[in-house]
Amino acid sequence: MFHTSVIEISKSALVSNLKYIRKIVGKNVRISSVIKGNAYGHHIESFVPIAEECGLDHFSVFSAEEALRVKNVSNGKSQIMIMGIIDINELPWAINNQVEFYVFDFYRLEAAIEAAKTTRKSAIIHLEIETGMNRTGFDNKQFAKLAALLKENEKHLVLEGICTHYAGAESIANYHRVMNQIKVFNKARTWFENEGIKPHIFHSACSAAAVRYPKTRMNLVRIGIMQYGFWSNAETLIHYLTQSDKHNNPLKRLISWKSRIMGIKEVKTGEFIGYGTTYLASRDMRIATIPIGYAQGFSRSLGNQGRFLIGGERVSVIGTVNMNLVTVDITNVPQAGHGDEVVIIGEQGDLSISVASFSELSNQLNYELLTRLPDNIPRIIID
Ligand SMILES: Cc1ncc(COP(=O)(O)O)c(C=O)c1O
């Protein structure tokens, strides 16, 4: 065994999610699988091979470190695109390995040109345009200098894409801001085209934008959360359901997280359980210890709040979450014994614990909870 819990990843759920995403974005739009944040906690080395088996051949990562991890497990036919950090001294590696990267300022553009000259290969770049998120990207005052540099260094650069990112496409509260971003992007697009600067592709959409703003799909969509079976937020799911004639959530969660009962104890009425005085036994109780804690990504804020499935029943976390342990009340599950399965996320019998219910209790976004799942929990691919 040599582990305290496991995360199962369902390949058939990925197949099914990709089918739905394809239906939404249409057949002519390429899907880039966003696998930053350790493939949203699914583990890059576990996820990329099954994603490739499912037909994905474009991966978006945050860093050169993640790009290297993809490269090490990929079938070699996929495109890898770094959307965030690549250090100057990592540029020659990227260029030699045809790893694509975002260029959002002159510092990186000039460094990329220098690295391309030294490696004698072209840097494959995506120009990021500032459209209103005010995070990264060239704004229109920089376009003239940018165009001149691009033309001057044409033989050192492959302009693969021109792109942007929206500041909250999942929420209707940001509607005007996103619509304005789309306008600004299209204006920039026309400006570059008029200058004779034509990238192979234009891309801008994350999951929520791809669902809610069809115009943002362009040539390629960068899909993260949806491929893993989650909506960006409840609003995006409701938007999808009301726009289609569907009544049920078509996406399927890929992960299940499971552990086992480590120990069982009887506790008398009036005793405190665990550290401090946060839980007082108000009756004679039977409790079980489960070998996961905040060191395994199970948030401390789930103390006296979290729920697990044991013996086909829903059981409650009692007391504080420890570094490596939690205690649960199994008084009403007399059949529970040492080594029995404990479901932290997933299904048991007719019951289910979703990431959403879990993250609501701990006040975390789906995104945050998933990406905090530690690397050292084994991932097992199931069908
Ligand atoms: C630039 C960029 N594109 C695409 C995505 C994918 O977003 P989502 O997981 O909502 O699809 C992200 C994620 O935050 C991102 O930062």
Instruction: Name the residue with tokens 């029995």.
Output: 340
Which residue out of 17, 33, 181, 206 has the highest number of ligand 1 atoms within 8 Å of its CB and is therefore the one to mutate?
206
Give the per-residue pLDDT at 49: 98
CA of 34 to the centre of ligand 1 (A): 7
Rounded distance between C-alpha atoms, residue 156 and residue 68, angstroms: 22
Q: What angle do CA 219, 167, 165 make, to 5 degrees?
A: 30
Domain extent listing, the chain: 10-243, 255-382
Identify whether the C-beta of residue 275 lies closer than 8 Å to the C-beta of residue 356.
Answer: no
Give the per-residue pLDDT at 245: 77
Cβ of 225 closer than 6 Å to ligand 1, yes or no, is: yes
Rounded distance between C-alpha atoms, residue 43 and residue 48, angstroms: 8
Cβ of 232 closer than 6 Å to ligand 1, yes or no, is: yes
Cβ of 39 closer than 6 Å to ligand 1, yes or no, is: no
Nearest-atom number in ligand 1 for the CA of 225 is 9
Q: What angle do CA 237, 243, 244 make, to 5 degrees?
A: 90
- List all residues 6 or more positions away from 254 whose beta carbon is below 8 Å from its beta carbon: 9, 10, 13, 14, 17, 42, 228, 229
> Considering only CA atoms, which residue is closest to atom 8 of ligand 1?
224
Q: Averaged over 97-125, what is the pLDDT? A: 98
Of 28, 29, 56, nearest to 42 by C-alpha is: 56
Q: Averaged over 36-60, what is the pLDDT? A: 98
CA of 223 to the centre of ligand 1 (A): 7
**Which CATH number is 255-382 given?**
2.40.37.10
1 band by pLDDT with thresholds 50, 70 and 90: low
SS3 content of the chain, % helix, strand, coil (to 5): 35, 25, 35
Q: Give the bridge partners for 259, in sequence order.
A: 5, 342
CA of 63 to the centre of ligand 1 (A): 14
Of 91, 144, 80, nearest to 117 by C-alpha is: 91
Which tens digit of pLDDT belongs to each residue from 233-280?
Answer: 989 999 989 988 778 899 999 999 999 999 999 999 999 999 999 999
Identify whether the C-beta of residue 281 lies closer than 8 Å to the C-beta of residue 271.
Answer: yes
Helix intervals (H) in the chain: 11-25, 36-40, 44-53, 64-73, 91-96, 106-119, 143-152, 175-194, 207-212, 234-243, 355-361, 366-371
Q: Which of 22-31, 45-54, 156-165, 235-244 has the lowest mean pLDDT?
A: 235-244
Give the per-residue pLDDT at 359: 74
CATH superfamily of 10-243: Alanine racemase (3.20.20.10)
358 band by pLDDT with thresholds 50, 70 and 90: confident
> Considering only CA atoms, which residue is closest to atom 5 of ligand 1?
206
Rounded distance between C-alpha atoms, residue 56 and residue 32, angstroms: 7
Cβ of 207 closer than 6 Å to ligand 1, yes or no, is: yes
Cβ of 253 closer than 6 Å to ligand 1, yes or no, is: no
Q: What is the pTM for the complete model shown? A: 0.95
Pairing label, strands 30-34, 220-223: parallel
Rounded distance between C-alpha atoms, residue 342 and residue 89, angstroms: 46
Give the per-residue pLDDT at 363: 66
Q: Which of 99-108, 227-236, 271-280, 326-335 has the lowest mean pLDDT?
A: 227-236
Proportion of the chain above pLDDT 70, given as a percent:
99
**What is the chain's alpha carbon radius of gyration, rounded to the nearest angstrom?**
24
> With left for phi above 0 and alpha for psi between -120 and 50, is residue 131 left, alpha or beta?
alpha
Q: Averaged over 289-305, what is the pLDDT? A: 94
Q: Averaged over 45-65, what is the pLDDT? A: 98
Q: Which of 14-23, 82-91, 262-271, 357-366 has the lowest mean pLDDT?
A: 357-366
Alpha-carbon distances of 248 from 184, 239, 350, 359, rounded to whole Å: 35, 12, 18, 21
Cβ of 224 closer than 6 Å to ligand 1, yes or no, is: yes
> Considering only CA atoms, which residue is closest to atom 1 of ligand 1?
165
Q: Averaged over 317-337, what is the pLDDT? A: 97
Cβ of 163 closer than 6 Å to ligand 1, yes or no, is: no
